[in-house]
């Protein structure tokens, strides 16, 4: 019984040490997965199990991505086609998304200058896009 408790204590210590020693660009999200910060593209899940938002973290461009396990419902389409900053001001990790209480809406944040947009995805093209929040 004492050996059992000693083993658990050692495992807790080593897993904590591992998490503390990760480089600043990595975040441990589970025992098997690591998120790398400072990347160009990132996928954000929506509340719809088939739909993700792909974000270019350098310039704020976004796409709605839908996958399908058995049919022809796979697609990738623009939410906003044009970059939100000039190329010389692009920087990995500049933009990020935050979910809202509304399934179809996210808040896009420029983490350098604080600008905000409402980003909306939809199965209907006329309902997709972004709107500046002033």
Query: Along the chain (134 residues), what's the average pLDDT of each consecutive run of 10 residues?
Result: 54 47 50 68 94 96 92 88 96 96 96 97 94 95
pLDDT value of position 72:
82
pLDDT value of position 16:
45
- 62-66/34-36 β-pairing: unpaired
pLDDT value of position 94:
96
Q: What is the pTM of this model?
A: 0.73
pLDDT in tens, 93-102: 999 999 999 9
């Amino acid at each position: 019984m004492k050996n059992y408790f000693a083993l658990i204590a050692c495992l807790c210590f080593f897993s904590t040490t591992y998490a503390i020693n990760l480089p600043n660009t990595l975040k441990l999200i589970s025992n098997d997965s690591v998120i790398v910060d400072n990347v160009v593209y990132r996928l954000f899940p929506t509340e719809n199990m088939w739909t993700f938002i792909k974000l270019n973290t350098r310039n704020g461009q976004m796409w709605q991505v839908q996958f399908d396990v058995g049919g022809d419902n796979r697609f990738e389409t623009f939410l906003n086609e044009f970059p939100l900053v000039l190329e010389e001001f692009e920087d990995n990790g500049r933009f990020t998304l935050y979910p809202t209480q509304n399934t179809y809406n996210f808040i896009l944040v420029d983490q350098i200058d604080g600008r905000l947009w409402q980003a909306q995805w939809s199965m209907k093209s006329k309902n997709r896009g972004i709107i500046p929040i002033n």
